[in-house]
Amino acid sequence: MSKKNKNKKYMKESATEASTPQAETQEEAIETNQPSQPSQDSQDSQSSQDSQSSQSSEDSQSSATEEEKLLSALSEAEEKFNELHDKYLRQMAEFENYRKRTLKEKSELILNASAKLMTAVLPVLDDMDRAHDAMATTDDAASIREGFELIATKFRSILEQNGLKKIDTEGQPFDTDFHEAIAMVPATDDSLKGQVIDCVQKGYKLNDRVIRHSKVVVAN
């Protein structure tokens, strides 16, 4: 090889070596200037974490809301219970007062009714005392009898004014609501069967309520 060719080869290799570092430097500069891109896996992981955090926050808010609703419902139920309990106690107290007042009024009514009847009967008692005194000074049986008849009539009138009525028995069909049969006798006629033919003791009603049944004899 000639000296001239050697020089050309040497110059070519030197130019190649000189250009290689420059190209590497340019590539590094390009890589440096380009922004770094996050990997797809990192983005997915971050998105998953954000979603979980958001879901956790929503669950926490929902739980707090449900708890507030339960506490509110419990408070309303307690208020309603206290209101009903107070109302129940008041009604029980009112009923107890009403019961005591009714018993008192009933007792007073009975006492007043008795007092009213006794007051009405007192004039009859006065007449009987005067008749008794008259019997000691007279032997006139007819006048004594007349006096007692007047007293009896007056007494019956007072009793009727206070609601007492005699139960009719003569010619009436036997009725267990008003009559008490003490004897049964054969009927002399078919039309008399089941009829009251005699009254042994009179019965009475007080304000349409039977207080004593008439004791009667019934034909059968």
What is the fold, at CATH topology level, of the domain defined by 165-220?
Nucleotide Exchange Factor Grpe; Chain A, domain 2 (2.30.22)
Asked if pLDDT for residue 22 goes beyond 50, the answer is no
Asked if pLDDT for residue 86 goes beyond 80, the answer is yes
Give the tens place of pLDDT for each residue, 59-76. Answer: 667 777 888 888 889 999
Q: So what's the pLDDT on residue 36?
A: 46
**Sequence-distant (≥ 6) Cβ neighbours of residue 214 within 8 angstroms:** 167, 169, 178, 179, 180, 196, 199, 201, 202, 203
**pLDDT tier at 114, thresholds 50, 70, 90:** confident
Helix, strand, coil percent content, the chain, rounded in steps of 5: 70, 15, 15
Asked if pLDDT for residue 24 goes beyond 50, the answer is no
Range with lowest mean pLDDT among 37-41, 91-95, 157-161, 203-207: 37-41
Asked if pLDDT for residue 199 goes beyond 80, the answer is yes
The better pLDDT of the pair 93, 66 is held by 93
Model's pTM, two decimal places?
A: 0.51
Q: Which segment, 21-30, 43-52, 193-202, is predicted with the most confidence on average?
A: 193-202
Q: How far apart are CA 184 and CA 194, in angstroms?
A: 9
Which residue type sits at 218?
V
Q: Between β-strands 204-206 and 164-166, what pairing exists: parallel, antiparallel or unpaired? A: antiparallel
**Sequence-distant (≥ 6) Cβ neighbours of residue 106 within 8 angstroms:** none
